[in-house]
Structure 1
Amino acid sequence: MTDALSITRDLVRCRSITPIDAGALGVLEKLLKGAGFETHRVTFSEPGTADVHNLYARIGSEAPHISFAGHTDVVPPGDESAWTLGAFSGEIKDGFIYGRGAVDMKGGIACSAAAVLQYLADHGGKPREDGKGSISFIITGDEEDISVNGTVKLLQWAAARGEKFDHCVLGEPSNVDTLGDCIKIGRRGSQSGTLYVDGIQGHVAYPHRASNPVPDISRLILALSDEPLDHGSAQFQASNLEFTSVDVGNSTNNVIPGQARAKFNIRFNDLHTQASLRELVEARLAKAAGNRIKAHIAWEPSNSNVFVTRPGDFTNLAVAAIEEVTGRKPELSTSGGTSDARFIASYCPVIEFGLVGQTMHQIDERASVTDIEKLTQIYRGILDRYFA
């Protein structure tokens, strides 16, 4: 069956705990092949990581080319005995379909697939009557894990084949409270690091023979945290640096430690690049440490860059499709964490719009049946406008 609810059910019943596929990609591939898509199952791996299976499917060979993206892998279900219905049951109760991934984001993928199949059935199996236009699916399997063998590599593989994307809709659960309240048009970047402060280990009874790094790292934490990195930009809220742990590795109370360290994460907006951000924080550290405190930062590698899709024709047609179905004009937002859109943005403008995210990653994750029906209508409205 090709309706969105049936596809959601079939996907949820695949126990695709990241990075295991468990048949989820096969569900989609069968549907898309039957509609005339050329499909490719592509597997990537790196030393020390598990193989990740991905799916790329396309119908049409010319521009304009719109792609629907998503991931079929899910986080672990937790205590399965605590679920009202089975964690991978796909059962319906009181107007909701239950199961891990129903919201994040098998439900969104199912809606896009159903909308595309319905659209093609109404248009003679082609995106446009003149033979132009393309529709594709970028479906990956490790978004909930380390995100190295999924979207980033599948996009590289597609580009090497000569694939060019004009626009993309990522079906992440972007809505906060109600379907139609929010479109994600960008995300802040993410950069982590560890602050190290070196001292001299010694006995607590003889502090003059030691140099305690604990007071020093406390001062530096305050110095780096207190001054804002910026005050926000036209599309983004202010960047923020948050310390998440402080440790000296000391198991006794009569030894002054020789080193203290503190982990932190920065969510940064489009006023910074990773390089300029690091330079700014390093300069503030040097000023606060002076010549007395010995401190340095070890930066972690990061592929979470800031991106934004500027409001324009593409966002306008999405807003119009949402308003038509829900009666709501969505906010164009850049809030929240990271997603695979950070990779897609290097290839084409991308927006995120899916189901309501209130129960994602929770026990009893569930999606409203009504929302699934409406999201399918919204995606259909996007297609109608895109190829008009």
Structure 2
Amino acid sequence: MTDPVALTADLIRCPSVTPEEGGALSLLEARLSAAGFACTRVDRNGIANLFARWGEKGHARSFGFNGHTDVVPVGARADWRFDPFGAQVEGDWMYGRGAVDMKSAVAAFAAAAMDFVADTPPDGAVILAITGDEEGDAKDGTVALLDWMAAQGEAMDVCLVGEPTCPDEMGEMMKIGRRGSMTFFFEALGVQGHSAYPHRAKNPVPALAKLVDRLAGLELDTGTDHFDPSTLAVTTFDTGNPANNVIPAACRATVNIRFNDAHSSESLTAMIRGIAAEVAAETGIEITDRVSVSGESFITPPGRLSDLVAAAVEAETGRVPVLSTSGGTSDARFVQHHCPVVEFGLVGKSMHQVDERVAIAQIPQLKAIYTRILRDYFA
């Protein structure tokens, strides 16, 4: 049997801070190849990705796992109790960057897949699509894998993403969708001048302040069947002006929106730009914007896939997971264009924190859940 705890430790010891591969995907490629998986590196623009398939290409039934081995920076190493890439064990915990997000889950589904196909070879294909670019720009990670799969005629019928999904207890939550995310970068343009002679200048600060205040007061919606209300947050407001007697020529602000399925990025862009145009007309200040869309909201309706995962989780943990769409974005936002997708993984309390750590007992438990999902899917 493949030990997912040992594999987790091996992966943590790979310093795979985005965009560095750090040896993590090479390690997985070697292990999966030895287990009979056909492995292909799908690297793009310096980003490492791995596609692994057991079974025939284009089989009528295929179950996919998606995950990432890249991790966020460790910050100040002096703040860590142990080497962030040491996989140090203390008591019931294993410490290291990526322990929760999400090298344990990658180890768990890789171990589950390798043992499953060896013990009970299924009538179908098992696919692992693992990226090194989830924590970065995410333009050449799972997107590159899906582009390559489309070009090669590879396909997953359904997919499970192993992101940490449980707030406090193992098994309490799974994700069946995610909110969309978009960011507006505003710039208000005026005329610089002396603060003692404001009539000779054109101050962009009050205009932009009026805009962000108006946006901050918006109620975008009251929620939908599967989503909480959409949110809008003003995250920066800057003039870059070090002088107290100079009216600046420009002012900038950033606004982030997390939106549900009552909206699209296009509808929100039209709405926000309309409000900005109103403020510009009222103040006589030119306001421009740049929009960045991280992903649209999506939902995999409750049904066969979510039932399959929920049944396995309940069997192994005794808990029926809540079907949630909370949290930030994940690579499921890309997979949902390819096939139905849900997410289930570990308790995520310490992800991205100093002294990130995983409860060791949860790793084989997660492997058991993934194994049961595979067994029930191919039954």
Scaled to the shorter chain, the TM-score interval is over 0.9
Q: 1:249 & 1:77 partners in 2: Cα distance?
A: 29
Give structure 2 stretches of 5+ with no counterpart. none
TM-score (norm 1): 0.93
Q: 1:290 & 1:328 partners in 2: Cα distance?
A: 56
Partner of 1:27: 27
Taking the TM superposition and a 5 Å limit, the aligned residue runs for 1:1-388 are: 2-45=2-45, 51-61=46-56, 62-123=59-120, 126-128=121-123, 133-388=124-379
Q: Is the 8 A contact 2:207 2:285 kept in 1?
A: no
Q: 1:78 & 1:246 partners in 2: Cα distance?
A: 25
Q: Is the 8 A contact 2:68 2:132 kept in 1?
A: yes
In structure 2, relative to structure 1, the CA distance for the partners of 1:242 and 1:20 (3 Å cut) is: same
Q: 2:47 & 2:300 partners in 1: Cα distance?
A: 28
Partner of 1:48: none
Q: Is the 8 A contact 1:183 1:330 kept in 2?
A: yes
Q: Is the 8 A contact 1:197 1:293 kept in 2?
A: no
SS in 2 for 1:300: strand
Structure 1 residue identity aligned to 2:21: D
Q: 1:221 & 1:5 partners in 2: Cα distance?
A: 48
Q: 2:225 & 2:288 partners in 1: Cα distance?
A: 30
Number of aligned residue pairs: 377
Q: Is the 8 A contact 2:280 2:287 kept in 1?
A: no
Q: 1:21 & 1:178 partners in 2: Cα distance?
A: 31
Structure 1 residue identity aligned to 2:52: A
TM-score (norm 2): 0.95
Superposition RMSD on alpha carbons, in Å? 1.5
Q: 1:218 & 1:35 partners in 2: Cα distance?
A: 60
SS in 2 for 1:301: strand
The alpha-carbon deviation at position 292 of structure 1 amounts to 3.6
Q: Is the 8 A contact 1:204 1:256 kept in 2?
A: yes
SS in 2 for 1:163: coil
1:251-301 CA-to-partner distances (Å, cap 9, x unmatched) read: 211122222221111111111111111011122233344344324341233
Q: Which moved more, 1:297-306 or 1:4-13?
A: 297-306
Give structure 1 stretches of 5+ with no counterpart. 46-50
In structure 2, relative to structure 1, the CA distance for the partners of 1:251 and 1:12 (3 Å cut) is: same
Q: 1:35 & 1:386 partners in 2: Cα distance?
A: 21
Q: Is the 8 A contact 1:183 1:331 kept in 2?
A: yes
Q: 1:101 & 1:200 partners in 2: Cα distance?
A: 48
Q: 1:285 & 1:339 partners in 2: Cα distance?
A: 30
Q: Is the 8 A contact 1:223 1:288 kept in 2?
A: no
Of all paired residues, the percent bearing the same amino acid is: 47
Structure 2 residue identity aligned to 1:82: D
